[in-house]
Structure 1
Amino acid sequence: MEQNPIRIAQIMGKWIGGGVESVVMNYYRHIDRTKIQFDFICDDDSTNIPYDEIESLGGKVVLIPPYQKVMKYHKELKRVLEEGNYKIVHSHINTLSVFSLKAAKDAGVPIRIAHSHSTTNKKEKKRNFMKQILRPFSKTFATNYMCCSELAGRWLFGDKEYNEGNVYLLNNAIDIDKFKFNEEMRKKARKELNISEDKLVIGHIGRFVETKNHSFLIDIFREIYKRNNDSMLLLLGQGPKLEEIKEKVRKYNLQDNVLFLGQRNDANRLYQVFDTFLLPSLYEGLPVVGVEAQASGLPCLFSKGVTKEAKVLNTTQFVSLDNSAEVWADKTIQFTGFFQRVDATNEITKNNFNINNEAQKIEIQYTNLLKKK
Structure 2
Amino acid sequence: MKVLVLITKMDRGGAETFVMNYMRHFNRDVIQYDFLVNRQEPGAYEEEIQDLGGHIYRMSPMYPQYFARYKREFRAFIREHPEYRIIHSNLEERSYFPLRIASEEGVPVRIAHAHNVYRGVNPKMVFRDYFRFRLPPYVTDKFACSLQAGKWLFGNGVLSDRRFKIVRNAIEVDRYAYRPKVREDLRMRLSLGQRLVVGNTGRLTGQKNQAFLMDVFSAVKKVRRDAVLLLVGEGELKRSLERKADELGIRSSVIFAGSVPDVEDYLQVMDVFVFPSLYEGLPLSMVEAQAAGLPCIASDRVPRSVKLTSSVSFLSLEDRPEEWADKVLRSADSKRCDRRDSVRQGGYDIRDAAPKLQDFYLSALNRTGAQAV
- TM normalised by structure 1 equals 0.95
Long gaps (5+) in structure 1: 1-5
Q: Secondary structure at the match of 2:168?
A: coil
Q: Which residue of the other structure, out of 247, 264, 267, is the alignment partner of 1:268?
A: 264
- Match for residue 108 of structure 2? 110
Question: Is it true that 1:166 corresponds to 2:163 in the alignment?
Answer: yes
Q: Given that residues 140 and 163 in structure 2 are in contact (C-alpha distance below 8 angstroms), is that contact kept between their aligned partners in structure 1?
A: no
Offset, 1:83 = 2.3
- Match for residue 360 of structure 1? 355
Q: Which residue of the other structure, out of 241, 262, 277, is the alignment partner of 1:245?
A: 241
Q: Given that residues 14 and 66 in structure 1 are in contact (C-alpha distance below 8 angstroms), is that contact kept between their aligned partners in structure 2?
A: no
Offset, 1:88 = 0.3
Structure 2 matches for 1:129-208, cutoff 5 A? Answer: 129-197=126-194, 199-208=195-204
Long gaps (5+) in structure 2: 369-373
Question: Is it true that 1:316 corresponds to 2:331 in the alignment?
Answer: no
- CA offsets, 1:104-137, max 9 Å, x none? 2233211110111111223x53432322222201
Moved more, 267-276 or 95-104: 95-104
- Match for residue 121 of structure 1? 119
- Match for residue 3 of structure 1? none
Moved more, 242-251 or 13-22: 13-22
Q: Given that residues 17 and 47 in structure 1 are in contact (C-alpha distance below 8 angstroms), is that contact kept between their aligned partners in structure 2?
A: no
State the AA in 2 paired with 1:17.
R
The 1-side partners of 2:20 and 2:363 are apart by 22
- CA offsets, 1:75-117, max 9 Å, x none? 2222222322211000001111101212322332111101111
Q: Which residue of the other structure, out of 33, 36, 48, is the alignment partner of 1:41?
A: 36
Offset, 1:238 = 1.3
Distance 1:167 1:214, change over 3 A: same
Q: Which residue of the other structure, out of 77, 86, 89, is the alignment partner of 1:88?
A: 86
Q: Secondary structure at the match of 1:168?
A: strand
Q: Secondary structure at the match of 2:293?
A: coil
State the AA in 2 paired with 1:113.
I
Q: Given that residues 284 and 307 in structure 1 are in contact (C-alpha distance below 8 angstroms), is that contact kept between their aligned partners in structure 2?
A: yes
The 2-side partners of 1:47 and 1:319 are apart by 38
Q: Percent identity?
A: 33
Question: Is it true that 1:62 corresponds to 2:57 in the alignment?
Answer: yes
State the AA in 1 paired with 2:275.
L
The 2-side partners of 1:359 and 1:35 are apart by 12
Offset, 1:336 = 1.4
The 2-side partners of 1:184 and 1:15 are apart by 31
- CA offsets, 1:279-314, max 9 Å, x none? 000011011011000000000001111111111111
Q: Secondary structure at the match of 1:284?
A: coil
- State the Cα RMSD in Å: 1.3
The 2-side partners of 1:205 and 1:138 are apart by 31
Q: Given that residues 11 and 45 in structure 2 are in contact (C-alpha distance below 8 angstroms), is that contact kept between their aligned partners in structure 1?
A: no
Offset, 1:162 = 2.1
The 1-side partners of 2:360 and 2:275 are apart by 32
- Match for residue 221 of structure 1? 217
State the AA in 2 paired with 1:70.
F
The 1-side partners of 2:42 and 2:239 are apart by 19
- TM normalised by structure 2 equals 0.95
Q: Secondary structure at the match of 2:324?
A: helix
Q: Given that residues 16 and 46 in structure 1 are in contact (C-alpha distance below 8 angstroms), is that contact kept between their aligned partners in structure 2?
A: no
Moved more, 150-159 or 276-285: 150-159
The 1-side partners of 2:325 and 2:294 are apart by 17
Offset, 1:165 = 4.0
Q: Secondary structure at the match of 1:203?
A: strand
Q: Secondary structure at the match of 1:65?
A: coil
Offset, 1:319 = 0.8
- CA offsets, 1:39-64, max 9 Å, x none? 01101245524222111111111111
Q: Given that residues 79 and 107 in structure 1 are in contact (C-alpha distance below 8 angstroms), is that contact kept between their aligned partners in structure 2?
A: no
Q: Given that residues 9 and 43 in structure 2 are in contact (C-alpha distance below 8 angstroms), is that contact kept between their aligned partners in structure 1?
A: no
Q: How many residues align?
A: 365
- Match for residue 10 of structure 1? 5
Distance 1:260 1:249, change over 3 A: same
State the AA in 2 paired with 1:154.
K
Q: Which residue of the other structure, out of 339, 343, 351, is the alignment partner of 2:346?
A: 351
